[in-house]
With several copies, the nearest count.
Chain A
Amino acid sequence: MTALRKVLIANRGEIAVRIIRTCRDLGMAAVAVYSEADRDALHVRLADEAYLIGPAAPRESYLAIDKLVAVAQRSGCDAVHPGYGFLAENADFASAVKAAGLCFVGPPAGVQRLLGEKTRARRLAAEAGVAVVEGTSEALRDLAAARTAATRVGYPVMLKAAAGGGGKGMRVVRTAAELEASWRVASGEAAGAFGTPDLFLERLVDGARHIEMQLIADDHGNVVWLGERDCSVQRRHQKLIEESPGPSVDAALRARIGDAAVRIARRAGYRNAGTVEFLVGERGEVFFLEVNTRLQVEHPVTELVTGLDLVALQFRVAAGERLPFTQDDVIRRGAAIELRVTAEDAPGGFVPASGTIALLRLPSGPGVRVEHALFEGMRVPTEYDPLLAKIVVWGEDRATALARARRAVRETIVAGLPTSLAFHAHTLDDPDFVAGRYDTGFVAAHWPPASPAELEGTALTAAALVAVLATRVRASHVANGVATAWQRTAREDALR
């Protein structure tokens, strides 16, 4: 259905599975890659071909540009989809793919370089007539420069990785006393995540909402905005819940943000799918934050509201097709909410967890969609992002979407390791969240809850009985992992 025939998916987990699905829908062959930690992974089994590219450590596998390009060429691919994370915003990868004569499913390297440098992106936004939060227009030379800048814009300030994105290398600094420690940690994280410790800083906008606008652009000068997502429910600058429409966003504000995003995209010569992130203050002031030059984790929220397949659109415009619609053709209907189920112990303060999926039940029914790569017996690797699954719900209005989200969480079981599900169950009943009254401070202010989940009469008795039984059973063996089937077989033969 597109000019593309065979795609290398340079990623893993739920997003690799998500991309494989659209490859099938478009009649393209999907080639998976996997590290030694992912031998049994679902994306390997659902792909048409799969190649081992190295040990678990990302640098030696999912971040190894040469290996990925080599596999794409060897397996006869004509395109490469980077997913999100890993190399998705790495301009060198985009150029290497292009240099190998393959189609990169994302914006060109030049655009990635331009927007990947957060300070340059800020300047570009300002030139496009979009307000930016007061801060430094260049990366900070050193701690001293940071002190000066912080004093100028005034505390509290936000330290950010200059090459950053995705919340890594970010620290809130409320007083001058905290600056040095935060500087150390943030630049350390930035170096680890992006290869450069460079930081810049902005004034911290308290009580602001994190609202982002989804864009799609083709090679023929068409740029269309598809709708916003409110991603203010975050912890450690990592998103937990995203929804569209934003509870605080009316048609006028939506159009303003959409228009601003398109202006920035046009000025940057943007191509393919992308997201422009904004901070929206209590009085509706809109500040540019950054551009994510890739598919977002939360893209299904926009898919449910618009009925579009964003990954399919990525492939079409990457293949040179024109967008099949104009701005006025985009239909938005109802409300969608995404809940990120992560391998983090929510009651324990979102401490990353690991383990084996001992029991899995995913929700279904009206308005419920789940994106995941889980299966019973799966060992959750500690080397990668803790995202386990995305529960995405749609309803004709926000109240219906909320009710369906509660129902979906109630049906979901992920046993064997701690997860973020308890947070979602709690938040979906939180009066402020239900009323749409929340900003980026929500999680800190509402979690952990004052009192643990309550059980009434028979539930409490039942739980007590099961607690006794559970202490008596041995850990049930989970069949899984690399089989030594042939060796077993041979040994048995010898005995016969």
Chain B
Amino acid sequence: MRYEVRVADHALGVEIDTGGRALVDGEAVAAQLDEIVRGRQWQVVLEGRTHEITLLTREPMRLLVDGREVDASAVDERALAASRGTRQHASGRHELRAPMPGLLRAVHVKEGDIVERDAPLCTLEAMKMENELRAPVRARVVRLDARVGMKVEGGAVLAVLSEVE
């Protein structure tokens, strides 16, 4: 099985053959790999160098590698093939999600509005602080689920934007 892996700014191809051998960008790697905490922390010894790697968060994936935080992702080729279609289809479509649970203190837009990049869309209060959620790109608000006073879960979709040039 092949995986397209991204670690920080790097893209790597990882292949695991039926013998359980791992190849990175085509090169077989002889790593001593120990799982220290099931599904959470691993130790990798490679060419004598030892690396302690902890899964900090799963979605999005963030790893702690010897004390350095890096974003990462790994998609196997089948999932990749499957997802490409939807990606195409979804190109230019953006969902605004609540980064954490909280209370919607203000909504600054309405459906149909065209908003500039970084324009504040709504204000979410969590942990005694107000957080402005902004537009990732210049876009039209095609759907708005956010209502003032609404208590939202982390990850809840607050609005759907459609990118406009």
Query: What is the interface of chain A, defined by CB distance below 8 A to chain B?
Result: 32, 39-40, 44-52, 75, 168, 185, 188-189, 192-193, 236, 343, 345, 347-348, 351-355, 358-359, 375-377, 382-386, 409-418, 421-422, 425, 451-455, 457-471, 473-476, 479-483, 485-487, 489-491, 493-494, 496
Contacts and interface: CB of A to CB of B under 8 A. Distances in A.
Contact of B53 (A39, A382, A451, A466): A466
Given A382-B101, A425-B68, A455-B68, A479 B37 contact: yes
Give the dominant DSSP class at B's interface: strand
Nearest to A375: B36
A415 B49 contact: no
A458 B33 contact: no
Contact of B99 (A52, A189, A353, A421): A353
Interface string B101-114: 11001000000000
A483 B50 contact: no
Nearest to B133: A351
Contact of A486 (B16, B37, B39): B16
Contacts of B14: 464-465, 467-468
Contact of A418 (B40, B62, B126): B62
A352 B52 contact: no
Given A47-B50, A382-B126, A483 B7 contact: no
A352 B105 CA distance: 15
Contacts of A461: 12, 24, 29, 31, 46
Contact of A470 (B66, B71, B74): B74
24 contacts: A44-B43, A45-B36, A52-B32, A189-B130, A352-B127, A354-B126, A358-B40, A382-B100, A382-B102, A385-B128, A410-B67, A413-B41, A413-B64, A415-B54, A415-B56, A455-B65, A459-B51, A460-B10, A462-B31, A467-B72, A471-B61, A473-B38, A482-B35, A493-B18
Given A359-B37, A474-B39, A493 B16 contact: yes
Contacts of A496: 1, 78
Given A40-B34, A347-B69, A415 B1 contact: no
B73 interface: yes
Contacts of B40: 358-359, 415, 476, 479
Contacts of B47: 458
Contact of B128 (A193, A377, A454): A193
Provide the main secondary structure of the chain A interface.
mixed
A473 B5 CA distance: 16
B50 A48 contact: yes
Contacts of A409: 67
Contacts of A375: 36
A68 to B, nearest CB: 15
Contact of A51 (B1, B20, B48, B102): B48
Contact of A49 (B38, B48, B56): B48
Given A455-B7, A468-B3, A470-B61, A462 B16 contact: no
A197 B72 CA distance: 44
Nearest to B101: A382
Interface residues of B, number: 76
Contacts of A483: 33-35, 42
Contacts of B32: 39, 52
A490 B23 CA distance: 13
B63 interface: yes
B22 interface: yes
B9 interface: yes
B8 interface: yes
Interface centre among A236, A458, A464 (most CB of B within 10 A): A464
A410 B68 CA distance: 8
B44 to A, nearest CB: 4
Contact of B33 (A345, A413, A463, A485): A485
B102 to A, nearest CB: 7
A90 to B, nearest CB: 15
Interface in B76-114: 76, 78, 99-102, 105
A494 B6 CA distance: 24
A452 B62 CA distance: 12
- Which 3 A/B pairs are nearest by Cβ-Cβ distance? A479-B38, A483-B35, A473-B39
A185 B100 CA distance: 21
A475 B12 contact: no
Contacts of A455: 7-8, 10, 65, 68, 70
B45 interface: yes
A461 B31 CA distance: 10
A49 B50 contact: yes
Contacts of A453: 8, 68-70
Nearest to A475: B58
B63 A168 contact: no
Contact of B41 (A168, A359, A385): A359
B154 interface: yes
Nearest to A491: B20
Contacts of A351: 99-100, 131
B21 interface: yes
B131 to A, nearest CB: 6
Nearest to B154: A354
Nearest to B52: A45
B38 A476 contact: yes
Contacts of B69: 347, 421-422, 425, 453
Contacts of B41: 359, 413, 415
A467 B7 contact: yes
Nearest to A344: B127
A468 B74 contact: yes
Contacts of A468: 3, 5, 14, 16, 74
Given A354-B100, A416-B57, A486-B22, A50 B45 contact: yes
A184 B1 CA distance: 56
B156 interface: no
Contacts of A32: 50
Contacts of B55: 415, 466, 470
